Structure 1
């Protein structure tokens, strides 16, 4: 434990590493938010395109056999 106190350079490096890790986590969260938004918009586009097909199928499935 004593070597940590008089070795201030390693402490500074540790702080830099922690700061970089925090920036990385923020970047990763931003990227995941962007990817999730892109997937959501793509799914909206796909549901709009396939809505006519699914409504036709829904009519078929609602009929009692």
Structure 2
């Protein structure tokens, strides 16, 4: 499976397990979501938990 797809799947699964991160993601503007998607594509799936848990600290 492509790394970007693996990362996106990991991100989605982690959002389902982290309601606070999901709420933050849902409140993002389309531009913020685009920037985040670019970060997701370049983040290995095994490091995705760190990215999701840092959403509330992140300046998207």
Q: TM-score, normalised by structure 2?
A: 0.29
Tell which structure's C-alpha radius of gyration is larger: 1
Q: Which protein has greater RCO, CA pairs closer than 8 Å, 6+ apart?
A: 2
More helix by share: 1
